[in-house]
Amino acid sequence: MECQVLNPFYVFQLFSVCLWFAEDYMEYATAIIIMSLLSIFLTVYDLRQQSVKLHRLVESHNNIMVTVCRNKEGDSCFQELESHHLVPGDMLVLKEGKTLLPCDAILISGQCIVNESMLTGESIPVTKTHLPQADNFKPWRMHCAEDYKKHVLFCGTEVIQTKADDTGVVKAVVLRTGFNTAKGDLMRSILYPKPMNFKLYRDALRFLMCLIAFAAIGMIYTVCVFALNGEEAGEVVKKSLDVITIAVPPALPAALTTGIIYTQRRLKKKGIFCISPQRINMCGQLNLICFDKTGTLTEDGLDLWGLLPCERNCFQDIHSFPADHSLPWGPVFRAMAVCHSLIVWEGKIQGDPLDVKMFEATNWVIDDSSGHQIEGQGSTHATVVRPGPKASSAPVEGVAILHQFPFSSALQRMSVIAQEIGGEQQVFTKGAPEMVAMLCRAETVPLNFESKLLLYTAQGFRVIGLACKSLQAGKQSTDLTREEVESDLTFLGLLIMENRLKRETKPVLEELSAARIRSVMVTGDNIQTAVTVAKNAGMISPTNRVILVEANKIPGSFSASITWKPLEKNKPEDYRGLAKAMGLEPRSPRVFTSALPVEDDSPPTTERRIGLALASGQYHFAMSGKSYQIVAQHFRHLLPKLLLNGTVFARMSPGQKSSLVEEFQKLDYFVGMCGDGANDCGALKVAHAGISLSEQEASVASPFTSRTPSIACVPELIREGRAALVTSFCMFKYMALYSTIQYLGVLLLYWQLNAFGNYQFLFQDLAITTVIGVTMSFTGAYPKLVPYRPPSQLISPPLLLSVVLNILFSLSMQVFGFVVVQEQPWYSKTDIHSACLSVNNHVENSSSISSLGLRGMRDGAHGQTDNGYKSYENTTVWLLSTINCLIVALVFSKGRPFRQPIYTNYVFILVLIGQLGVCLFLVFADIDDLYSKMDLVCTPTTWRISMVIMLAVTLAASFLVEEAVIENRPLWLLLKKTFRYHSKSHYKRLQRVLEQDSAWPPLNETFFSDSVAISVEGSMGGHSNPTFDSNEDTL
């Protein structure tokens, strides 16, 4: 709040208002105070609303009653206390029913189902398991490695279900409280966001300094003129200071704030909510958008397409879904029925969409009642799945899920320990096929596993690997570690899910591509699936090449290797029909390490095709999160080159996503991030514009939230950002010209020791400029994105040329009018009524310039008597300058290509027409009372027509220059080419260097690092949501 009130513009306004009150210029001073207070109020109100919302979010969990186990006189007892009394080390007892978590806590017994949507924006329930018992002295965080988050209950999340183990109580130990928690960290990042270094805001202060320097010249001129004419020192000081308040527009902050508020309202009507208004202008500069895949580019839900079972080291016939016959009972069926983390919540099966589809295909149901007696396990709150009414016959009554090892994005898998009622215990694992196959016994994995996997991932299918093994009888499931459970598995087959593109995805990406806005995919999915989806979505053109970048650490050394492999297009004949293709072996399968073979094509043809693509720069890099990490550590010098053409980044962790966005920003890209708000939280925060696709009205996960879960909001936001940015520039230009026009008029009149009257100033400042400043921003965004961005800085040649030329036009017109009026035959220096002898009351109002007793430029004398301002020069200069303000407002109100045509802003057009009508009325009316009030004098009709002609010539010149020169993009491009001007952006410079490098990219070559690795563990991401990625080394 203090920063808003002490903004340099507002401090300057305070100085101006004090000076005006000293000169009795009460009306405009009061108007500026009201506008400034309104502007400050709106800004502070917006900040206050956000603060209240944040306070409520914090308060919701800070004042709840919790049950804590505390020692009293050596005995442990349970007591109820308010949550703000909790300290790290307290033991919480979690009761049944919904509970908000007031702190970060480690679950040490039982199991919880938690809704983490407050932190992640994703309302899928998450299963939390208790900390495993371990017979070693390692810290729990090191022992659990990447999987530690599955044991931590995060502050601000809601426990929706608890399941006790044989102890009968669900317990958790308080880990962190207050701002040290996951929620506290998120609140801190919102309260103190990463500062955005945007040129517009830097240039605004430079703009102010330039105007003050311009005013300093006028001050010197004023002191010289009035001092030489014997004015009192006090009056000279006031007049010279007054020049500064004229040259620097005091209404600018209010006008800029108004523009942002209008844009925010337009976005809200389109279902896009903003909690960081200052980033709206930044959206106008975005030239690279990172997209998450699942739920963002593709549909949130997955459709089960088929199942490829494996028996005795061989794949069997594919089972398609939906099928005429149900899936037969067997290990694969059992895996689909139990290997999930689904729960029944409010009468519906809830959980990961993939799990839901997989389980629904079995036609079984979840019996989630508590206290099932499982043989050998005692009384436990196990989830039991049973055959449903539509299920095929099964030889078992049901299967109990005894223990879960929840899905981990780092491990890329999940496992469960299950037991048939009356049967033996088994382990079932599902996850990324490559990862599952590594955990299986080699003799159970088919030899053609990699080629079959490629067959489906190349079509864009989501492929899940399934595996199982039997456990020794009599062993407690809770005593087993994850490493013991997930080893020596038997491979069961591949589950093939169809993840369709959203209907809006391809048109939106095509629109962005046509606007030369780069699209990048950042996903946690398989790299081949990601590449295929990128091709289907239009991110990668069919004629472009895809180059896989693989980086690996060399075992037993500190070095690493990096290889570039061209990823060939799949042959159409190989995939004419997947049902038929299942009986065929892919041509020339290879043994390789990455499951991404290079197709055997005739070498000359392949090399020729690749050479043509590379020569034209039409190639895209694809890499995994592991390769990205290694490149960032060992091949730092190559990272910018790879990012320049990197389009697909697969198997990326949340921290790597944040790091990638920051690396793009280092190349001077303006980066947008669009995701579903879950594991994209960190990247959404770090990006210049983070857009979360969430049903919530305003998610704290990102600056922008779209209520519609579609990427159609991205071009919409860019359009509005461009319009807002152009509006800001138009406002700066208009305010600069209005101030300069008034400044030039006043300096001309100072030459005769004259000036504008109070009501003349008031009419220009309030009735003209303030109303224009408020209505100019109503113009909406142009519906089409053009393939270039608006300028990002005020100090640019076109803008400066526009301002300078219009200043010269205004100066020429005012000087011409000032000089020519003195040459008219009816002109008299002493008799201001000599031009209109027919005026009856001219004797009453007669005045002599020689009797001008200027008591100050704005002396507040508002009587009918002459107050010393009336003269032919004053009338001429004031009328010319006032209508000139309308001319520049019209000329500077740009429409296409970034805003809609000016005639669509009906309010602004009506305002201009109304103001022009009033001004022309003042020019041609001859009403004594009105003229006396406005300090105008009567002039012959011929002179009035002459002034209109001068204004028409100025309008034509301004409009012609603006359209033919300032807005002439081909002309500026030609000038850039002629003077060999090149962009200073890092990525542009790098592009020019790589265009000259015939050896880049080095296809089918392997490089080795020869330097010590750079540690980037601590820098993988700016703000990272601790729910997914904690930056603490020890706990």
Instruction: Report the catalytic residues.
Output: 292
Gap between the Cα atoms of 946 and 959, Å rounded: 20
Instruction: Reduce the DSSP state of residue 300 to 3 states and report it.
Output: coil
Q: How far apart are CA 694 and CA 471, in angstroms?
A: 42
Task: Round to whole Å and give the CA distance between 489 and 478.
Answer: 19
Residue 580 neighbours by CB distance under 10 Å? 9
Structure tokens at 696: 């919530």
In which element (H, E) is residue 484 found?
helix 482-485
Torsions phi, psi for 54 (to 5 deg)? -65, -40
Q: What single DSSP character describes residue 285?
A: T
The sign one gets for the Cα dihedral 1015, 1018, 1024, 1027 is positive
**Distance from C-alpha of 110 to C-alpha of 123, rounded to nearest angstrom:** 22
| C-alpha neighbours within 13 Å on the C-beta side of residue 871 | 27
Give the helix ranges, DSSP H, for 8-125.
Answer: 8-22, 26-62, 117-120
Residue with tokens 């000599």: 834
Asked if residues 770 and 35 have their Cβ atoms less than 8 Å apart, the reply is yes
Report which secondary-structure segment, H or E, holds 989: helix 986-995
Q: Which residue, chain included where needed, has tokens 């472009």?
A: 544
Amino acid in position 778: F
> Could you tell me if 578 and 504 are in contact, meaning their C-beta atoms sit under 8 angstroms apart?
no
* 890's tokens: 């019209």
Q: How far apart are CA 785 and CA 197, in angstroms?
A: 25
Classify residue 489 by its DSSP letter.
Answer: B
- Report the alpha-carbon distance of residue 727 to residue 158 in Å, rounded: 44
Q: Give the closest residue to 273 by CA, choosing from 724, 705, 709.
A: 705
The DSSP secondary structure of 199-259, one letter per residue, reads HHHHHHHHHHHHHHHHHHHHHHHHHHHHHHTT--HHHHHHHHHHHHHHHS-TTHHHHHHHH
DSSP label of 477: G
What is the three-class DSSP state of 671?
A: strand
Number of residues that make up the chain: 1035
Backbone angles phi, psi at 352, to 5 degrees: -60, 135
Task: Take residue 917 and report the two structure tokens written for it.
Answer: 């009508």
User: How, if at all, do strands 518-522 and 303-311 pair?
Assistant: unpaired
**Rounded to 5 degrees, what are φ and ψ at 643?**
-70, -25
CB contact set of 227 (below 8 Å; sequence gap of 6+): 236
DSSP string, 645-663: HEEEEES--HHHHHHHHHH
Radius of gyration of the chain (CA): 37
- Cα–Cα dist 19/245, whole Å: 9
3-state secondary structure 389-440: CCCCCCCCCCEEEEEEEEEECCCCEEEEEEEECCCCEEEEEEECHHHHHHHE
| Exposure b/e, 540-578, CB count within 10 A at least 16 = b | beeebbbbbbbbbbeeeeeebbbbbbbbbebeeeebeeb
- Rounded to whole angstroms, how far apart are CA atoms 796 and 981? 13
- DSSP annotation string for 1010-1026: -SPPPP-GGGS-SS--T
